[in-house]
Amino acid sequence: MSFDPESVREQFPILKRQVNGRPLVYLDNAASSQKPRAVMDAMTRLMETSYSNVHRGLHTLANETTEAYERARASVARLLNAASTSEIVFTKGGTEAINLVAASFGRSLVAGDEIVLSQMEHHANIVPWHFLRERQGVVLRFVPVTDDGRLDMDAYRALLGPRTRMVAISHMSNVLGTINPAREIIEAAHAVGAPVLLDGCQAIVHLNVDVQALDVDFYAFSGHKLYGPTGIGALYGKAERLAALPPYQGGGEMIGVVTQDEITYADPPHRFEAGTPAIVEAVGLGAAIEWLEGIDREAAAVHERALYQRVVEGLNGANWLRPIGQAPGKGAIFAFNVEGAHAHDIAQILDRYGVAVRAGTHCAEPLMRRFGVTSSARASFALYNTLDEADAFVDALGRARTFFA
């Protein structure tokens, strides 16, 4: 297979639009990516042809919809190379997947038990653990980040110990673009008997992830960054890990038997999918994964790195620029500040040129603090971006800068 960004672009109707009289240059992909026609069509087709609730009916539409929903689960299992589809729990996104583990696994934790996080975590992988600190006296330990944006692995090893109950770390940072050494992290955690949750919300979009090769215990991601719809994501959990977890939410579908006096619970994954799930969205996510299976993802990753490199080279020598995150081998995310300008102003001016970037804390306040800034702007690339768009961004940023020079 080869990779041609122009033919990929053709499949994303929104990329044809104009913003402020200019062609849209969409560089806010780490927040959410655009959707290919195949995803929209799959969702529409389901609603037009065989929509019903899942798992409850005996009629034809219920069976067809259940099959489509479970096929989507199989697609997620393939994406992650999970050993079994029953290791895949549908959630409403990465945030809910992490909350599920923190709430369910965390129930048995006691004061003084430790969770190891890092300074580069998204709030989605901090706040659910803070609940355990507030409510149960669990201690949170944060792996420091080096000046170039890597995890300090020596400090990480030193933080692990007999009280470590869980390590929860991002596979790829949504600000720095750093790809963390997952195998090393997992091996070290397992050596002290601690399971590992990887926040894969960014990594799943850009890397081939193999949960069995990683030997990871939990893996969380969202559909909407992976060219799928909002409202759907997944939690992978090793079979024995999921089997040991108590339910997260209660309701229909997650039970075995309910009487007035007692309940029994369904086996995973249904134990963790209380109520009617996001059926149409799950099918949309399945379609996104099938669509990606038709793409040479390694070639796409090379293309994304070339986009990032083009920006770095285009801005080379710009002494007014303060990039954040320069880890070797990092992904295609460019976070920066412009001297003398607020990141929000930069983003607004770029928008006038049709260039969409994010500005703010990126839900990573501890990381902002680590780098001594209150916010940053961020351009993040997807496989449908082009070298011309990278140039358009560099050009617009140069113009934006003149407002503050």
Catalytically active residues are 363
Residues 97-116 that bind ligand PMP (CB under 6 A): none
Stretch near ligand PMP under the rule CB under 6 A, chosen from 45-53, 194-202, 256-264, 328-336: 194-202
Closer to ligand PMP by CB, 93 or 268: give it: 93
Under the binding rule (CB under 6 A), the answer on residue 93 touching ligand PMP is yes
Stretch near ligand PMP under the rule CB under 6 A, chosen from 119-127, 183-191, 294-302, 349-357: 119-127
Residue 164 DSSP SS3: strand
Under the binding rule (CB under 6 A), the answer on residue 122 touching ligand PMP is yes
* Separation between Cα atoms, residue 238 and residue 244, nearest integer Å: 10
Strands (E) across 125-222 are located at 139-143, 164-170, 196-199, 218-222
- Cβ(362)–Cβ(126) below 8 Å: no
CA-closest candidate to residue 384, choices 347, 311, 344, 332: 332
What DSSP assignment string belongs to 200-258? -TTHHHHS---HHHHT-SEEEEESTTTTS-SS-EEEEE-HHHHHHSPPSS-STTSEEEE
Under the binding rule (CB under 6 A), the answer on residue 95 touching ligand PMP is yes
Closer to ligand PMP by CB, 197 or 392: give it: 197
Under the binding rule (CB under 6 A), the answer on residue 199 touching ligand PMP is yes
Options 36, 94, 195, 247; binder of ligand PMP; rule CB under 6 A: 94
Closer to ligand PMP by CB, 334 or 353: give it: 334
Closer to ligand PMP by CB, 357 or 400: give it: 357
Size of the site for ligand PMP (CB under 6 A): 16
Under the binding rule (CB under 6 A), the answer on residue 195 touching ligand PMP is no
Closer to ligand PMP by CB, 77 or 175: give it: 175
Under the binding rule (CB under 6 A), the answer on residue 380 touching ligand PMP is no
Compute the CA torsion angle 347, 318, 369, 155 (nearest 10 deg). 130
> For ligand PMP, what does the binding mask look like between residues 160 and 189, x meaning CB under 6 A?
----------x---x---------------
For the bound state, the minimum distance from the C-beta of residue 76 to ligand PMP, rounded and expressed in Å, comes to 15
Under the binding rule (CB under 6 A), the answer on residue 206 touching ligand PMP is no
φ/ψ of residue 192, rounded to 5: -105, 10
* Separation between Cα atoms, residue 197 and residue 214, nearest integer Å: 11
Closer to ligand PMP by CB, 31 or 387: give it: 31
Q: Quote the radius of gyration of the chain (alpha carbons, Å).
A: 22
Compute the CA torsion angle 91, 177, 226, 208 (nearest 10 deg). -100
Stretch near ligand PMP under the rule CB under 6 A, chosen from 12-20, 40-48, 122-130, 387-395: 122-130
* Separation between Cα atoms, residue 351 and residue 401, nearest integer Å: 13
Closer to ligand PMP by CB, 94 or 106: give it: 94
Residues 352-371 that bind ligand PMP (CB under 6 A): 363
* Separation between Cα atoms, residue 143 and residue 188, nearest integer Å: 13
For the bound state, the minimum distance from the C-beta of residue 124 to ligand PMP, rounded and expressed in Å, comes to 4
Which contacts of 2-6 are long-range, i.e. CB under 8 A and separated by 24 or more positions?
Answer: 2/296, 2/299, 3/295, 3/296, 3/299, 3/300, 3/302, 3/303, 3/383, 5/303, 5/383, 5/384, 5/385, 5/386, 6/386
Under the binding rule (CB under 6 A), the answer on residue 75 touching ligand PMP is no
* Separation between Cα atoms, residue 286 and residue 308, nearest integer Å: 28
- State the DSSP H helix or E strand holding residue 358, giving kind and residue range, or none if neither: strand 358-360
AA identity, residue 214: L
Under the binding rule (CB under 6 A), the answer on residue 396 touching ligand PMP is no
For the bound state, the minimum distance from the C-beta of residue 401 to ligand PMP, rounded and expressed in Å, comes to 27
> For ligand PMP, what does the binding mask look like between residues 13 and 32, x meaning CB under 6 A?
-----------------xx-
Closer to ligand PMP by CB, 349 or 379: give it: 379
Q: Counting beta carbons within 10 angstroms of the beta carbon of residue 387, is it exposed (0 to 12), middle (13 to 18) or buried (19 or more)? A: middle
Residues 327-346 that bind ligand PMP (CB under 6 A): none
Under the binding rule (CB under 6 A), the answer on residue 124 touching ligand PMP is yes
Stretch near ligand PMP under the rule CB under 6 A, chosen from 87-95, 237-245, 299-307, 343-351: 87-95
Here the tokens at position 399 are 């113009």
Rule CB under 6 A: which residues touch ligand PMP? 30-31, 93-95, 122, 124-125, 170, 174, 199, 201-202, 222, 224, 363
